[in-house]
Amino acid sequence: MNRPERTLFDAELQLFADAVMQFLKAEAVPHREAWEEAGVVDRALWLKAGEQGLLCPNVPEAYGGVGADFRYNALVDEAIMRLGLTGIGFGLHSDIVAPYILHYGSDAQKEQYLPAMVRGECITAIAMTEPGTGSNLQGIQTTAVPDGDGWLLNGAKTFITNGQNADLVIVVAKTDPDAGSRGFSLFLLDAGTAGFSKGKNLKKVGLKAQDTSELFFDSVHLPGEALLGERGAGLKYLMQELPQERLSVAINAVAHAEAVLAETLNYTRERQAFGKPIAAFQNTQFKLAELDSELTMMRVFIDQCLAWHIDGQLDAVMAAKAKYLSTDLQCKVADDCVQLHGGYGYMWEYPVARAWADARVQRIYAGTNEIMKLIIGRSLLEDG
């Protein structure tokens, strides 16, 4: 597949990208099958990744990081997806959780958690989704009420990435029931705290090596310093950080789709039907041309979104467009590539089958694509 040079990434970044690929090929690819069977990635990988500087690269040097920009996060995300290692939860840890602590945490919270996160000693998760809320964050029912000099946390969360491995969870809870959007706050909860329990590791259609869990809070006492940022500012913080989360999803989507298409191109060259390679048929060539063209366009757009983000110019609407368009295309590419594989495309041992199963959730999490359309549509009406 022909692609223009990605001018956003200089020689230094390319060396970093090559190092990430080499690390993952050596330390992760050989264990993928075992991790899928276990439903969780070995914690040892996190420690090795920390040693190599692959975790939380945007954390400042004062807290053990290197203070890099988001391009480094993007390259780690892309390498993971290109190799089909979709169970590895580095993106959630580095792209989503770390910024909350970095942007809203106290000095003490940053000093306590960020260095350990960079080293891979503290694996993190963020607990937003609840059994009855889905994308409606204002419907959250988990509560945190004042309790002496701290808080009493009660409720449940579900579909929590890194849930089994998590040493630290950012919990979204209702603190002021009558305050509307100002009624929610964020809390830092350490695993092992009395009353906090992890439910079963959920079995999913795809992402089989990724630990995704239910979490339960039964009269969990949190000290006052567990509050992250200001009381009542939880939803505001979520809205401020969601553009980066959605960009991260979009980066994953394009890299994953590109890898699936490259694998399918090789397959159609080798697979014979009616005495000639599948790639020799006009239908195959037209389909490959269509997918490659659409991915070229999407790659340019997502790289531009990344550039805007680094410059502080990626807003919620553009991030919604990136997430919606890229994940829809990711699913289309995966589905069409399964079709080009024929019956073999439905066999789990083939990368395209895994890709097809793994891609589907991308249109659901970080806000469903229907929510993305609402964000975009409302912005158009407001502009009018």
Q: Give residue 97's region: left, alpha or beta (phi > 0; psi -120 to 50).
A: alpha
> What is the set of active-site residues?
245
Q: Quote the CA–CA distance of 291 and 206 in Å, as a whole number.
A: 22
- The CA distance from 115 to 306, in Å, is 26
Q: How far apart are CA 298 and CA 279, in angstroms?
A: 24
Helices (H), 8-149: 11-27, 32-38, 43-51, 70-82, 90-91, 98-104, 107-119
Give 281: exposed, middle or buried? Use CB within 10 Å, 0-12, 13-18, 19+.
middle
Rounded Cα distance, 338 and 346, in Å = 7
Q: Which residues pair with 227 in a beta bridge?
A: 187
The DSSP code for 343 is: G
CA distance 326 to 271: 29
